[in-house]
Amino acid sequence: MENLMFVCWCCKVLWAVVVAALGCGSSLPVREDALCAAEQLAQYRIIFTGKWSQSAFPKQYPLYRPPAQWSSLLGVTHSSDYSMWKKNEYASNGVRDFAEKGEAWALMKEIEEAGEKIQSVHGIFSAPAISSGTGQTSTELEAHPRHPLVSFVVRIVPSPDWFVGIDSLNLCEGDHWMDEVSVDLFPYDAGTDSGFTFSSPNFATIPQDTVTEITCSSPSHPANSFYYPKLKILPPIAQVTMVKIKKTQLGLSAPFINLPAKSNEIIDTVSETPLDCEVSQWSSWGLCRGLCRETGTKVRTRFVLLQPANNGMPCPHLDEETACEPENCV
């Protein structure tokens, strides 16, 4: 009898464990990409547009050695099990090499390894570099219902470790693929180099910092190339548009009409960003000049650190004089 009661007690405990496990399982969050019930595959044309112009970003705008430009675009379609980069998290070694030097090998290796180990990657795509701050580049990508997320990075050249990109944009909405999506892009700091300006020399961040968005007031340092304290928000430095490629009646992809060559330079429609003049601190007062026993004058000076642009505040006077009594008179 005692053995029978023990068996019954064990059965009740086991049943309670099973019920609890099922309850927990039903309350687990559903992965974002698991909701995609769209058609099998979708092809997109991805168009990256650089808007990094001297009128929109006049401060320390790189004109030579090298001039403002964009690296090649490197992206991936994937599931939520993979992350190329995330804001407020540490950049991988591959993202660090890409953001600092434009080297893609380590990042591609990380993507391939993620695809092999957890099958979280559907495909890699890339687009050519842009040799100026404004212009367009494009390529095609393929998304799968199990891999509907898109991530990519483009390096800002020149810069310490700055880039633009997208982290895990979902192209699927329930049972269908989005026809078109456009996103304004803003600069990010990979957190691996401590340079403040576009042309800063290499200065590794130790310990490494997380990926952070660069704004008009952060980093809060006047030397920063994106520091515009009078703005509420930076204008977009780039934009990306993804357009679903429609199938023809024969099942073939509709041809994509390339932009004419003359349209590669984009007309900047962003309002010009005013840049105020910046000057140094006053120097010490100079010697008092004048005749003995008469009022003389002495002068102090300052110099221009940053010339104004786009109707910004003009520079003030660079010298100032005041009355004084000459010293060492005989």
- pLDDT for position 24: 37
- Return the pLDDT at 273: 74
Q: Residue 284 and residue 286: Cα distance in Å, rounded?
A: 6
Three-class DSSP category at 226: coil
User: Can you spell out the DSSP letters for 207-218?
Assistant: SPPPPEE--SSS
Q: Which residues neighbour 44 within 8 Å (Cβ) at sequence distance 6 or greater? A: 140, 141, 142, 143, 171, 242, 243, 244, 245
pLDDT for residue 267: 43
Torsion angle of the four alpha carbons 76, 200, 307, 68, in this order, in degrees rounded to the nearest 10? -30
Instruction: Give CA separation, 56 vs 26, 31, 112, 196, 313, in Å.
Output: 51, 39, 38, 19, 16
Beta-carbon neighbour count of residue 270 at 10 Å?
13
Q: Could you write out the three-class secondary structure of 253-306? A: ECCCCCCCHHHCCCCCCCCCCCECCEECCCCCCCCCECCCCCCEEEEEECCEEE
Q: Burial-class residue 244 by CB neighbours within 10 Å (0-12, 13-18, 19+).
A: middle
Alpha-carbon torsion, ordered 140, 144, 147, 150, to 10 deg: 20
> What per-residue confidence (pLDDT) applies to 147?
94
The Cα-based distances of 88 to 17, 42, 163 in angstroms read 38, 31, 14
In the numeric block, which tokens belong to residue 63? 């004109």
Entry pTM: 0.74
Query: For the range 108-116, what are the long-range contacts, defined as Cβ-Cβ under 8 Å and sequence gap of 24 or more?
Result: 108/74, 111/76, 111/82, 111/84, 114/78, 114/81, 114/82, 115/82
Within the chain, strands assigned E span: 42-51, 69-78, 121-127, 134-143, 149-157, 162-170, 172-173, 176-177, 180-185, 188-189, 212-213, 238-244, 278-279, 296-301, 304-306, 319-324
Which residue stretches of the chain have pLDDT < 50? 1-33, 249-250, 255-268
